[in-house]
Amino acid sequence: MDAPLGLCGPMTPDALLDDLLASQRLLVLTGAGISLASGIPTFRGSDPDAVWAHDVTEMGTFAFFRRSPVESWKWYRSRFGKLEGARPNAGHRALAELERWQLARSREFLLVTQNIDTLHRAAGSTQLVEVHGKADFVRCARPGCEHAEPRGLIARKEVDFGPFDAAPGLDTLPRCPACGFPVRAHVLWFDEYYGSHEDYQFDRVLEGIQRADLIVFVGTSFSVGVTAAALDSAARKRSRRRSCRPSWRGCWRGEGAVASPLAHAERCAPARSKPSHPLNAASRESAGSAPVRLPQVRSTRRIPPSRRASKRPASSPPTSSGHT
């Protein structure tokens, strides 16, 4: 899918290199496309296992969990099973390196990911917001519990899913250690708000979007609330926004991918021959391997218009279009 009209014009490797060199406050926003090379299905990508090719819009809701917690957890256990053994690919590692390059020059950097797969963390990114949640945590589904929203969390490794996986049923549902109520996945469902849990750090995301002089989108089709907020803010501020498109032949070279071309360009500026930049150049994980492909994906988690500009309470009722 093409990038929306709100993005700057035709993107080239050299144009992105120039922007990165000039940026003092960089924000990168990634979607499911960046993790496809790690073997994780996208949502609305073209891969055969794309999640939205099935029934996620109904099952990925709190309403469905309340109605059928067993079916909800069966679906998520299957989904989370695809994350087992996944490792960061060259794209994740290049963004971690870009973060280190920015911070070493006393510049600002924030990576916001829509992915729950934890691969950016595993790659070494530290200035990171996992705005849609984390697959390695769960939380209590009972309002008011210490392990429930707006700040409660339970590490998934501390919850025994063995009985449920062996015989899914109400009596084997994993339970909260504090109150005995069923736990839920720590993910932002389609009928929920970004502000519903502190761990989503949505205020930090909004602040980063407001401060950024350059926003780079990777592997997303701009259909989700956080991307809409980023595009709206960038358009109002007339700040730069760029998209790494799947039509570019790969995007990453691996170790040294970001630092070497940027450092070279930095030394040669302002009069320089522009080197090929790792975020756009043809690349391979290793000799003979297929190029990393970043198909655009779509998600529909949305923020109400008032939430974009103000701190809407997490207790506010969801919008009727929150899952469409």
In a domain, 77, yes or no: no
Q: What is the pLDDT of residue 268?
A: 55
Looking at residue 203, which CATH number applies to its domain? 3.40.50.1220
Strand order through the sheet with 25-30: 128-130, 108-113, 25-30, 214-218, 240-244
In a domain, 209, yes or no: yes
Q: How far is CA 51 from CA 17, 32, 177, 300, in A?
A: 33, 11, 31, 13
pLDDT tens digit at each of 324 positions of the chain:
344 433 444 456 677 778 888 899 999 999 988 998 898 877 554 544 444 444 667 788 999 999 999 999 999 998 898 898 899 998 899 899 999 999 999 999 999 999 999 999 999 999 999 999 999 999 999 999 999 999 999 999 999 999 999 999 999 999 999 999 999 999 999 899 999 999 999 999 999 999 999 999 888 866 667 877 887 877 787 777 777 653 344 444 444 445 555 655 555 554 333 333 333 322 223 223 333 232 222 234 444 333 333 323 333 333 322 332
Is position 132 annotated as part of the catalytic site? yes
The tokens describing 214, both together, are 């350059």
- The single-letter code of the amino acid at 273 is S
The runs of H, that is alpha helices, within 115-243 are 119-123, 162-166, 202-211, 225-237
2 Cβ neighbours under 8 A, 6+ residues apart: 245
Q: How far is CA 152 from CA 121, 178, 209, 261, in A?
A: 20, 11, 26, 43
77-110: b (≥16 Cβ within 10 Å) or e: eebbeebeebebbbbbbbbbbbbbbbeeeeebbb
Task: State the residue range of the domain holding 219.
Answer: 13-40+83-132+188-309
92, 132, 186, 323: which is the annotated catalytic residue?
A: 132
pTM over 0.85: no
Contact 45, 33 (CB under 8 A): yes
In a domain, 31, yes or no: yes
Q: What is the pLDDT of residue 288?
A: 30
Q: What is the pLDDT of residue 24?
A: 95
Question: 10 Å Cβ neighbour count for 5?
Answer: 7
For the chain, the helix, strand and coil percentages under 3-state DSSP, each to the nearest 5: 35, 15, 50
The tokens describing 122, both together, are 């595993």
| Cis previous bond, 278, omega within 30 | no
In a domain, 113, yes or no: yes
Total structural domains in the chain?
A: 1
In a domain, 201, yes or no: yes
In a domain, 153, yes or no: no
The tokens describing 308, both together, are 């974009």
In a domain, 123, yes or no: yes
In a domain, 18, yes or no: yes
